[in-house]
Amino acid sequence: MVYLIDRRPNDRGKSAVNRERFLRRYKTHIQEAVKKMVGDRRLADMEGGGEVRVPKKDMSEPSFTFGRGGDREFVLPGNREYVAGDRIPRPEGGGGGGDGNDGGEGDSQDEFVFSLSREEFMQIFFDDLELPRLARTEFGRTHRHKSIRAGFAKTGVPANLAVIRTMTQALARRIALGGGLARETLGLQEAFATATAVGDAGQAATLYAELDRVERRRDRIPFLDDPDLRYRNRVWRPEPIARAVMFCLMDVSASMDEEKKDLAKRFFALLYLFLTRKYEEVELVFIRHTDDAEECDEDTFFHDQRSGGTVVCSALELADKIRSERYASGWNVYAAQASDGDAFGADPARSARFLRERLLPAARYYTYLELVSPHASERASALWAEYERLAEVGGTFAMKRASARDQIYPVFRELFRKEAQ
Amino acid sequence: MSPISHGADWDFDLIERYDTAIAQVAGEYGLDTYPNQIEIITSEQMLDAYAASGLPVGYPHWSYGKEFIRNEQAYKRGMQGLAYEIVINSNPCIAYLMEENTMTTQALVIAHACYGHNSFFKGNHLFRQWTAADGIIDYLVFARRYVMECEERHGAEAVEEVIDAAHALMLHGVDRYRRPAALTLKAEAARLAEREAHRERQFNDLWRTVPVNAAKTETTAAKPFPREPQENILYFIEKFSPKLEPWERELVRIVRKLAQYFYPQAQTKVMNEGWATFWHYTILNRLHEKGLVDDGFMLEFLKSHTNVVFQPAFDSNMYNGLNPYALGFAMFTDLRRICEQPTAEDRAWFPDIAGSDWRVTLDFAMRNFKDESFIAQYLSPKLIREFHLFAIADHRTESTLKVDSIHDDHGYRRVRKLLAQQHAQEIRVPDVQIVRYDRDGDRSLTLRHVQRRGRPLNDAAAAVVTHLRRLWGFPVRLETWEDDAQLHNVAELAA
């Protein structure tokens, strides 16, 4: 007797839960690896998965087994030249030819390497990060429809049949329809009993026929009838979706060299990935500026070269204009500005004031990333000094500095760290 | 008769026809099996099954995830092929067949797993004694649900901690001897009544006047507990741990049950694989004799079979221990030869079986042995010669290894004995037992590692003690003794 079962259509991710457990356990190792990856990667690969290495000794499962040392004998196959009593020098690194029991342990790899999927990668990437003041999310006018349960209906497809509810209905109907007949039966039975007791055969026969008729009527009440059927009902309910717009402001003046631009791009890429995880809909506005600002598309923003002086305020004004024209209401506004802070004259002060008066009140969060060259002195730029006063007020403004690739991710994490509850 | 099929393609109908043919041949040879349940799975599902030690249902734990990732990586890089099949000791006996297999491989696997392993599971005394084939799947389902419920109620970390700790002691969580069955309530009551009656019969008021030796009562109070050293550490924890919550106890029990389930498998690797390999070889050859499979089938089968029973020499790059398939297959084949065509040497070594009915002899061997005793009993000088087996002695007092014995007249018995010992669970797993539970004092637990021939515990022992400490909740001490003298404390963890 044999049962043949085709299991191929079954779920394949049986080990997914165990895999996830494993990842959680070695989180610190993995986070370390992810941090490294952000620095090493090309921008385009930022979203992909990646390889993680964990030292084997950190994840061993201990048990009582034998260590080295002591006396033992072991049997090996394939003897060619040895005779009893021969001496063989101990192989280096112990075990050597090894006996059967140690066979599996001779793994030379001392690191456990595995790859993360994109989803896992992102999960770890943005773990513990939060968009500030997300609770006050503005909901847009557009809606997404969501199916929710809404009681029971009398019509529906068989798959949605609510069996218990249907049977309850059927029971109620049977009781309602059959109650009178049941009482009638009882009365007739009693009368019949009296009639037979007194020996009135004619009366008994009539009663019997009547009883028979009533019982047949009772039997005719269907066990389950069409009106009993109840179906689980679902309705579509519109749900507002959270939308965000992200303004990317980058200084592309001559003082921003390739290195700094690369840092800025990395920062924007992270911010974008992060926003897409938090909002259903994210729109991007790229603004680059030298002495005047212009809106451009993503490709131009990241790849096109341009140079000139620096007027930060122009970019802020443009951003505010676009915001009030296109994203006046129903949008959560985020803005990130990257610059080397090389602004002159009245520009820094004007920018700061503009920011305080116009942009900040409308934005959820405004981050300023100042890119400094690694060898630069610690002296703060003019823009930094002005902005610092904004930051002191606190609220929706945050600023950080970065000078190397590997700082971008930590800086990003700091800007968006989940506030301790 | 004409062959059942030609070519590599298989379908469900063909599998059934092959199974019928194989079942018939197996019946001719008198193989007694559980009913079979053959499941076709993909390679991904095979990887899943690998991770759970082949069990169809398992509780979630990171170590299975690690195993899964390890196998997946190895497989993807082409460092490791997948087994053709996995078979589960249950009733009905579940065998997984991979969809990538050719028809020949499927037939090979059916003969190997569904009739070879299956009959071994049903017949071998260790499996009969220690595993309940009827209940294992249900138990696994229960275990999975229980663990997940605990996670929901007490948090995944707390559950993981307990399971980690229990896993560390898995090797020391098996019963090697049957425990007496627990008395039923009725039997217990009857026993008490009988004891009471006995006391009444023996009653003599004079005893009351006999002076009691005060010192003596004191020593009885301080009697050490447990009376005898306990080798099943997990069982002892489950029963006596002063601190474990009921659900933690149940988790320990689940791990212990699993350890017990795998206990026979670890001890019968050579026999189990040898038996299954012997039978797929015998059955498929018989099918060929009957004309049910064609020559192409046989060539492909023989190629797979040869790969399976290949034994590289110890100095080869491919060497990875003694191949249990090779050794087991060779031993069962040799046993049949001894029965059918005994030489003078066989008659001298195996007077009781030389020339006997091979089916009876093999059946007896399959039922009543484990690897250790099977090798000690049946490894013939001819096989020792064929495998060129030799024994190496590695003694700490000597600077070199010494060839202890080889396949010659002086060496046969010695090599056989050493090879048998190498397969003995008692020798592969260090002897660590619970000797004292200070119930009336600080509730500390003392373990004793009895060291033999100077072989120490590995460095991980301290980590295991930490895990044990977690389960016990009070101080735990691990001592090492050799020749009735205490050497040192390996580890001691205070509260």
What's the complex ipTM? 0.80
Domain locations in chain B? 12-124+268-305, 309-427, 430-493
Contacts of B70 in chain A (CB under 8 A): 112, 114
d(CA B334, CA B342): 10
Tell me if A10 and B45 make a contact (CB, 8 A cut-off): yes
Q: Are residues A321 and A347 in the same domain?
A: yes
Task: Tell me, yes or no, whether A405 lies in a domain.
Answer: yes
Find the closest chain A residue to B99 by CA distance.
A8
Whether residues A192 and A244 share a domain: the answer is no
Select the residue of B73, B99, B322 nearest A114 (Cβ to Cβ): B73
The three-class DSSP label of residue B99 is: coil
| DSSP letter for each residue of B1-14 | ---S--SS---HHH
- The CA-atom distances, in angstroms, between B126 and each of A204, B129, B371 are 76, 5, 11
| Cis peptide preceding A410, ω within 30 of 0 | no
Within a domain: A80: no
Cα–Cα distance between B472 and B244 in angstroms, integer? 7
**Are A243 and A311 contained in the same domain?**
yes
Establish if A100 belongs to a structural domain: no
CATH at A356: 3.40.50.410
Domain presence at residue A104: no
- Per-position DSSP letters for A351-397, written without gaps between them: HHHHIIIIIHHH-SEEEEEEE--TT--SPPPHHHHHHHHHHHH-SSE
Contact status of B314 with chain A (Cβ, < 8 Å): yes
Task: Look at residues A48, A138, A43 and name the one whose alpha carbon lies nearest to residue A332.
Answer: A138
Number of separate domains in chain A:
3
Chain B residue numbers with beta carbons less than 8 Å from the beta carbon of A78 are 311-316, 319, 387-388
What pLDDT does residue B494 have? 62
A200 & A331 share domain: no
Q: How far apart are the first and last CA of chain B?
A: 75
pLDDT digits (tens, 9 = 90+) for B185-199: 788 888 888 888 888
Supply A146's token pair: 């969501």
Residues A326 and A406 both lie in one domain: yes
Residue window 398-437, chain B: list those with CB within 8 Å of chain A. Answer: 399-408, 410-411, 415, 418-419, 422, 428-430, 432
Does residue A349 sit within a domain?
Answer: yes
In the numeric block, the tokens 């007739």 are attached to A188
Q: Which residues of B touch A65 (CB under 8 A)?
A: 171, 429-430, 457-458, 460
Beta strands in A77-160 (DSSP E): 87-89, 111-116, 139-153
**What's the rounded Cα separation, in Å, for the pair A288 and A318?**
10
**Nearest residue on chain B to A116, alpha-carbon basis:** B69
For residue B180, the model assigns a pLDDT of 64
A221 and A309 co-located in one domain: no
Measured distance CA(B284)–CA(B295) in Å, rounded: 11
Query: Which residues in chain B touch residue A79, judged by CB atoms under 8 angstroms apart?
Result: 314, 388-390, 406-407
Task: Name the 3-class secondary structure at A304.
Answer: coil
Range of the domain at A30: 20-56+112-125
Contact B389 A113 (CB under 8 A): no
Size of interface A-B (CB pairs under 8 A): 266
Chain-centroid distance, C-alpha B423? 11
Residue A227, preceding peptide bond in cis (omega within 30° of 0): no
Claim to verify: residue A52 and residue A184 sit in the same structural domain? no
- pLDDT for position A45: 62
Euclidean distance between the first and the last CA atom of chain A, given in angstroms as a whole number: 63
Is the same domain home to A222 and A275?
no
Q: Say what percent of chain B tops pLDDT 70.
A: 94
Assess if residue A77 is contained within a domain. Answer: no
**Closest alpha carbon to A327 in A292, A282, A270, A366:** A282
Yes or no: say if B145 and B256 are a contact pair by the CB < 8 Å rule: no
Instruction: Please check whether residue B322 is in contact with residue A100, taking contact to mean a CB–CB distance below 8 angstroms.
Output: yes
Give how far B3 is from chain A: nearest CA, Å: 21
Q: How many CA atoms lie within 13 A of B432 on its CB side?
A: 35
A391 and A321 within one domain: yes
Least Cα distance to A370 among A318, A408, A317, A409 occurs for A408
Tell me what percent of the residues of chain B surpass a pLDDT of 90: 23
**With contacts defined as CB-CB under 8 Å, which chain B residues touch A60?**
460
Distance of alpha carbon B376 from alpha carbon B421, whole angstroms? 8
CA–CA min distance B202, chain A (Å): 51
Last residue of a domain, one of A229, A252, A272: A229
The answer to whether residue A320 is domain-embedded is: yes
Task: State how far the Cα of B158 lies from the Cα of B151, in Å rounded to an integer.
Answer: 8
> Cα angle at B281 between B275 and B285, to 5 degrees?
145
Domain end, chosen from A229, A259, A279, is at: A229
Residue B439, token pair as written in the block: 């119930």
Residue B160, min C-alpha distance to chain A (Å): 9
Query: Which chain B residues are Cβ-neighbours of A98 within 8 angstroms?
Result: 321
Give yes or no for B45 touching A (CB within 8 A): yes
Would you state the pLDDT for residue A142? 60
CA distance B196 to chain A (A): 46
Domain match, A203 and A295 both: no
- Output the average pLDDT for chain A: 78
Residue at A62 is within a domain: no
What is the chain B residue with the closest CA to A107? B320
Q: Model-level pTM?
A: 0.70
Residues of chain B with pLDDT under 70: 1, 78-82, 179-183, 213-222, 489-491, 493-495
Do A311 and A193 belong to one domain?
no
Identify all chain A residues contacting B331, using CB atoms and an 8 Å cutoff. Answer: none
Q: Do A84 and B419 touch (CB under 8 A)?
A: no
Closest CA to B338 of B330, B328, B329, B347: B347
Task: Per residue of chain A (421 residues), give pLDDT as tens.
Answer: 678 888 888 776 777 788 888 888 887 777 777 777 766 666 556 666 667 777 776 777 888 888 887 888 888 898 888 888 888 888 765 444 444 333 333 344 567 777 777 777 777 777 666 666 554 455 555 667 788 888 899 988 889 899 999 999 999 999 998 888 888 889 988 888 888 888 888 888 888 898 899 889 888 899 999 989 999 998 888 777 777 888 888 888 777 777 787 788 878 878 877 777 777 777 888 888 887 888 888 777 777 767 777 788 888 888 888 888 888 777 888 888 888 877 777 788 888 888 888 888 888 888 888 888 776 666 677 788 888 877 777 677 888 888 877 777 778 777 777 654 3
The conformation of residue B21, written as its DSSP 8-state character, comes to H
And the tokens for B165?
């700790």
Distance of CA A129 to the CA centre of its chain: 12
**CB–CB of A18 and B99 under 8 A?**
no
What pLDDT sits at residue B377?
Answer: 92
Cα B201 to Cα B388: distance, rounded to the nearest angstrom: 70
Residues A38 and A180 in one domain: no
- Give B-chain residues touching A2 at CB under 8 angstroms: 16, 19, 23, 35-38, 114
CA-nearest residue to A2 within chain B is B36
Q: What is the pLDDT of residue B218?
A: 54
Any idea what the Cα angle at residue A314 is, between residues A308 and A315, rounded to 5°? 90
Closest CA to A333 of A369, A295, A361, A302: A361
Task: Give me the helices (H) in A199-257, please.
Answer: 201-219
